[in-house]
Chains A and B, each alone.
Chain A
Amino acid sequence: MIRLLAVAFAVVLSAAPVLIMPVPAVAVIALVGLLLATVGVAALWRWPVTAAACVFLADYAASLWVAAGPVNVAGAAGFGLALLFMLESVDLARLVRRAAVEGAVIGSHLGRWSGFGAATLLAAALAVALASALATPMPSAIAPLLAAGSALGVMTTIAVIFTRVASSRRSAGR
């Protein structure tokens, strides 16, 4: 059942770019992503699913760039949630394979995902509102640099956190 859920998320992720920009190139990339995701879900391997998520993202970015349509915040948040839940569901399927599972495990995960989805939509709305407020007085020449700097800052922060967690693990191991 969890694998079906992962496949359902993969289908949604492959269909979203095609719906935005229905051209053969986008459909072919979506199919490649779907194939990778199917292999990952069937074999419960993590790397094909991660690769499929990146392919879906590239396909989504390409379709948005080519279509050049209006910004759809809810759709983008839904796409991000589907990416996260696809990764999570494959991980959960790996975890419960050949294990005695209490019924509460799946139920509590689904409940948690629902709450997280609602919270993410709220956070996305707030972030977009904040970004709109900041974008108005900002010169257009600085915006790309600020976006790139922010992205780099976020990734650096996360990398530092990862390093800290890893180093605390090493020290605990000693």
Chain B
Amino acid sequence: MTGRVTPLGFSVLAVAGCALSLAVLSARPELFVAALPLLLALVPLALRAPALDHRIAHEVSRARVLEGESVTVTVTVQARASIALLELLGPLPAGSVVVSGRHRAAMALRAGQTGRWSYEVRFEGRGAHDMGTIAVRVRDRFGIRAWEQRHVDPKPVRVYPHIALLRSLPRPAHARASVGDYVSSVLGEGIEPGDIRQFAPGDRIKQVNWRASLRLGKLYVTQHQRERNADVVLMLDTLAEGGRAPDTTLDWSVRAGASLATAYLARRDRGLIHWVKPGSGRAQYERLADALAWADVVFTYVAKDLAVVPPRVLPPQAVVIAITPLLDPRFTRATLDLAARGFDLVVLVVSPVEVTRRALAPSPTIDLACRLWTLDRRARLAELHRQGVAVLEWSPPEPLELALAGARRPRPRLVAAG
């Protein structure tokens, strides 16, 4: 604990010096007497520091929240010796706001007394924060001297992006060997009827298609398509962003990524994002959400592009969903490169026009600039379309579901043989 003279101490010293000087100059004893209380207040400085004995504990109600949700921070101070004045400054991470109570507190405690104080913090944007540091300042009885310390007890809080429920998703063109929710092109056990063929020894009676058999005069059986899962790669563009936090294009991209990851993992697909190892299930969602919480635009002089990615890093036959505002030409080149390498590619373009317009003061010039920008972007998207890339445009804050509704691609089916 570090002790120091407070600014009040220096003020009192200045006024006491002024009083003594005027007393000598005016030769009036009243001014010596007037200086007396000021000098008496400074006496504790000459004494030994009192034993400051207190215990601080704090709790954060939740360690994982979604954007827009709040946590309650409760701080308990137990004083073993009397404390004239205790100042506490609770954690308030960047991008969060206090919704109830105050994150600063002042309390006076007697020996053995316990003080409790709590406040509620709402997180506007995603991120990973540590709410484990409380700044503590103890003052002496006249506020002339103060002792400061930091109470550190790590309390990580992860704020995950808001998840939208999605019903329609870009369907993968290829499925994996594991069981899942997609109707694959391979025939076998399943629910979805795939093909009809003549009865062969070994076929089960329940597979007989009686309608076709009666019409054609021979026994025919219905073959079903297998239900399989797929590899989905979510590629997030963190090269550039537009708008104002917590509603930048990157924030919306992360929300879209989290929603897509949740929806795909619910279908038992394997998800991969930002070099998180592929996996499935709830644990994979946690890994993806953690990675998304950290996503940020970082300035660097190192110019990277996807040419440095080894071909085997991305799972073969995976559907790659690139989420991008298309503000950086390097990412556009990367998507074209992936398409050229034969990946099943869908580009979800997060339009930066509306989020940028919302961040600026409305004016006719801004409106005109946004309209011109929209036209320019349409031309660029059309160019991507022409190059054979499936492009979905999403203009936040409109629902992501609307943008994905255009993603229904024809389901691959086998043509009935013979």
Contact = CB atoms under 8 A, between A and B. Distances in A.
Interface of A: 46, 49-50, 53-54, 57-58, 60-62, 64-65, 71-73, 75-77, 79-81, 83-84, 87-88, 91-92, 95-96, 98-102, 104-105, 108-109, 112, 116-117, 119-120, 123-124, 127-128, 131, 144, 147-148, 151, 154-155, 157-158, 161-162, 165-166, 168-169, 172-173
Contact of B39 (A87, A108, A158): A158
A83 B4 contact: no
A52 to B, nearest CB: 10
B17 interface: yes
B19 to A, nearest CB: 5
Interface in B76-125: 84-85, 87, 101-102, 104-109, 115, 117, 119
Contacts of A65: 26, 28
A124 B22 contact: no
A84 B38 contact: yes
A50 B14 contact: yes
B7 to A, nearest CB: 6
A50 B7 CA distance: 11
Given A91-B8, A112-B141, A172-B2, A98 B104 contact: yes
A114 to B, nearest CB: 13
Q: Chain A binding site: helix, strand, loop or mixed by DSSP?
A: helix
A157 to B, nearest CB: 8
B4 A77 contact: no
Nearest to A55: B18
A148 B20 CA distance: 9
Contacts of A117: 37
Q: Chain B binding site: helix, strand, loop or mixed by DSSP?
A: helix
B106 A172 contact: no
A109 B139 CA distance: 12
Contacts of B23: 61, 147, 151
B60 interface: no
29 contacts: A46-B7, A46-B11, A50-B11, A60-B30, A65-B28, A73-B29, A76-B31, A79-B30, A80-B36, A83-B38, A88-B142, A91-B143, A95-B85, A98-B102, A98-B104, A99-B106, A101-B106, A104-B109, A108-B84, A123-B36, A128-B29, A128-B33, A151-B24, A151-B32, A157-B46, A161-B42, A161-B46, A165-B4, A172-B1
B336 interface: no
Given A98-B104, A99-B104, A108-B108, A76 B30 contact: yes
B13 A162 contact: yes
B2 A169 contact: yes
Contact of B40 (A64, A123, A131, A168): A123
Contact of A172 (B3, B28, B40, B41): B3
Contacts of B8: 46, 87-88, 91
Contacts of A49: 11
B61 interface: no
Nearest to A104: B108
Given A61-B28, A148-B24, A151-B21, A165 B45 contact: yes
Given A64-B28, A151-B23, A57 B15 contact: yes
A120 B15 contact: no
Contact of B11 (A81, A87, A172): A87
Given A64-B26, A147-B23, A99 B2 contact: no
B200 interface: no
Contacts of A112: 84, 141-142
A61 B28 CA distance: 8
A139 to B, nearest CB: 15
B260 interface: no
Interface string B140-151: 011101000000
B22 A57 contact: yes
Contact of A162 (B27, B30, B45): B45
Given A50-B15, A80-B34, A162-B13, A169 B4 contact: yes
Nearest to A171: B2
B5 interface: yes
The 9 tightest CB contacts between A and B, nearest first, are A76-B30, A80-B34, A76-B33, A99-B104, A151-B20, A61-B22, A80-B37, A100-B102, A100-B105
A171 B16 CA distance: 28
Given A65-B26, A77-B33, A128-B33, A99 B102 contact: yes
Contacts of B30: 60, 64, 71-73, 75-76, 79
Contacts of B12: 84, 87
B12 to A, nearest CB: 6
B35 interface: yes
Given A84-B37, A172-B1, 15 more contacts: A46-B11, A50-B11, A57-B34, A64-B30, A73-B30, A79-B30, A79-B34, A80-B37, A83-B37, A84-B12, A100-B102, A100-B119, A104-B107, A158-B13, A173-B2
A65 B102 CA distance: 50
